[in-house]
Structures are given as structure tokens and as C-alpha cells.
Structure 1
Amino acid sequence: MSTPKPAPLAWTALASLDEAAFCARLGPVVEHSPWVARQAWAARPFAHWQALHEAMARVIHGAGEARQLALLRSHPELAGQEARAGTMTADSQSEQGRLGLLALDATTVQRIETLNRRYRERFGFPFIVALRLHDSLASVLQAGEMRLTNDDRTERHHALQQVCEVMRGRLSQAVTPDLPSPSSATTLAGNLS
């Protein structure tokens, strides 16, 4: 039986976390890469939720090439071996399950396996896509085919962007985004009129 996911942490409670608690809470938002949260800790205090996401994204994009490749290679393939073995993280399982990637017919499995193999052979890491940004499996497959035409540098950047988008979705489930303060809401309303 898996451990239930904790309720999202209130934004105001984030500032009270020590480094160990911060890393324990936010380490899992980047697949098998708790070092991202550990390094982002140094950017505190975060003015708002977006600043937290941006700090973590800067850590990812600022890492050396070897560390970036290790991060990319730590992600599971779509409907791949980890999915079949049931060894994906709970987040990956939920994300892949939403589009039916955990219960596919043989023809679709073959198509995804071919895409996964071609992509890994071409770039050296799994095809990573923020599934929450897609409404259908067809859209995901189309994105994969299009990304196979990228050069190595472009695709590595694109894959890291997708990791950051996956992280954005997971982060929004881990920490409740901050609400605008009453004074900024009043200013915003004044600017719109």
C-alpha cells in the first residue's frame, strides 16, 4: 500500500520550513532529483510561488551538462518498462494514467515503444513531455514525432523545459500558490478600470 500524498502546504507555511523539511517536501517534484530543491533552498526567501518555481528552474537550467543528462535519464519512458513493472513514482503513475498510458492496446503500445526507442537512440535520454499540457495521447505522440526532428542542443533544452513544466504541475500540488495581497488586488483592479 502506498503512502498517501500529503495535503498541499500553505504558501505561508513554506517560509517556516527548515532546509531538511523544505527538501523533504519539495525534493520529489523533480523526478529522482532532490538536489534541485536542495540547491533552490539557497534562493530563499521566495517573494511568491512563481519565484519558487523560477528558482528551481534556474537550478535545472544552470546545472552542468552531465547533471542535466542524469536528470533527464532519471525520467521514465512513456508506458515503458517502469510503467509495466509498477516501479514509477506515484506522480509519474498518476500523470501517465490520466491519458491512459497504463492501459493501452497492443497497437498503441507498439507505436509508443517505437517512438521511445527512436527518441532514446537519437538523443540518449527518454522522451519527456509534460502530460498535463496535453488533452490526448494523440497530441503527445504528435509532439514526440515533431521533436525527433530537433538537433541535439535544441532538444535537450526543450526536454529541460518539459521537466520544468512537469515540476510546475507537481509544485502546485505540493505548495498552494500564494494569493495576491489585498493591496496588490486593489492596485490590479485599479489598473484594469
Structure 2
Amino acid sequence: MMTAALPTAQKLADLSALDCTAFSSQLGGIFEHSPWVAERAWAARPFASVDALHQAMVAAMLDAGRAEQLALIRAHPELAGKEAAAGTLTQASTGEQQGAGLDRCTADELQRLRSLNAAYRSRFGFPFVIAVKGRSRHQIMDIIEARLGNDAETEFRTCLDEIAKIARFRLDALLGAA
């Protein structure tokens, strides 16, 4: 595991020196339950910056077929959904949702959020995905409501864009670049 004491440049050099299996092990959680993204980005080594690593990972995601992209979107948990209630979110997702205050929803807020999640999934066939960092639970609910008016293709692309943002936040946290 990466140690926080190393400078970012050293962490990147260490990552770049890893074989594909070890690299994927270190970065497999950057894209929710989708280590294939790290596996495919590995070929772009060495990484001179966090930006370069992030770009390689996003390119791997965008170069994937539609079915893999859909599976990646569907790998994301619903906000304050059943995974959160059951305590089965990934560590990264738990921290992100807590940071947005989603673990502190009132009963009415939780009912609204779950209703919005259900409406979104019913309309688009995948969960609502957003990079929650820096947003309040109230902002998030308003954004879900607004995005319900989009067409399916716009939402598919928006989810991939949001996943790229989430990945950047996770890389920054892992590599101490934030």
C-alpha cells in the first residue's frame, strides 16, 4: 500500500514500476468495483504526474465498450441506498457519502432521496452518479431532480464524466496530491 509520507512524484514512480497485477491491486478501487480500468491504463506508464495517470485511466474508461461502461455506472451504489444502510459500501464511497452529509439525512430527506434514486433508476436503468465532494445533500437532491429531465444518452455521458471526477478525487487522496 502507498504510504502517505512519500512525495507524490515518488509514489508515481513506484506505481509506474509495478507489474500490471500489482498496479491494478493498488489502483483497482479508483473506479468503483472496476479494476479493469487500472489494468488497461497500466500500459501508459510511466506516469509523470497525477494528471497523466488520471488521463490514462479516463481514456481506458472511455475506450471501453458500451456494455463495460454501463457495468461501471451500475457498479456505483445509490446515494444513501441499501448498501449504505447495510454498511457494505466501499471505504471510498462511505467517506464520500459521509462528506456530503448523506449519512445525516432526516427521515424526510432520506425519503426524498430514495424516491429520487428510484425515479432515476426507473427512467435510465442505472443509478444516479455524481461526484459528491464539495456538495451538500440538499444540492445533490436538487441535482438529481434536475437531471431527471435529461435524455438517456446525456445521462449516460454525464455519469461517465462524474465517474472521472470521482476517480480524480480518489487518486488525489491516494497519492497525497489533494
TM-score normalised by the chain length of structure 2: 0.91
Q: Which has the larger radius of gyration?
A: 1
Q: SS in structure 2 opposite 1:122?
A: helix
Q: CA deviation at 1:104?
A: 2.0
TM-score normalised by the chain length of structure 1: 0.84
The Cα offsets for residues 152-191 of structure 1, whole Å up to 9 and x where unpaired, read as 11110000000110100011122244xxxxxxxxxxxxxx
The Cα offsets for residues 124-177 of structure 1, whole Å up to 9 and x where unpaired, read as 11111101142x111111111111111111110000000110100011122244
> Which residue is 2:160 aligned to?
160
Q: SS in structure 1 opposite 2:171?
A: helix
> Which residue is 2:22 aligned to?
21
> Which residue is 1:187 aligned to?
none
> Which residue is 1:128 aligned to?
129
Identity %: 46
Count of paired positions: 172
User: In the alignment, is the contact (CA less than 8 A) between 1:11 and 1:176 conserved in 2?
Assistant: no
Within a 5 Å distance, the mapping from 1:65-84 to structure 2 comes to 65-84=66-85
User: In the alignment, is the contact (CA less than 8 A) between 2:97 and 2:132 conserved in 1?
Assistant: yes
The runs of 5 or more residues in structure 2 that have no matched partner are none
Runs of 4 or more above 3 Å deviation? 5-9
> Which residue is 2:175 aligned to?
175
> Superposition RMSD on alpha carbons, in Å?
1.5
Partner amino acid for 1:91?
A
Higher relative contact order (CA 8 A, sep 6+): 1
Within a 5 Å distance, the mapping from 1:23-102 to structure 2 comes to 23-102=24-103
1:7 aligned onto 2:8: no
Partner amino acid for 1:53?
H
Partner amino acid for 1:106?
A
Q: CA deviation at 1:55?
A: 0.7
Q: SS in structure 2 opposite 1:162?
A: helix
Q: 1:71 to 1:111 in 2, by over 3 A?
A: same
1:143 aligned onto 2:143: yes
C-alpha distance in 2 between matches for 1:155 and 1:92: 21
Partner amino acid for 1:43?
A
C-alpha distance in 1 between matches for 2:103 and 2:77: 13
The Cα offsets for residues 2-42 of structure 1, whole Å up to 9 and x where unpaired, read as xxx85346233222222222111111111000000000001
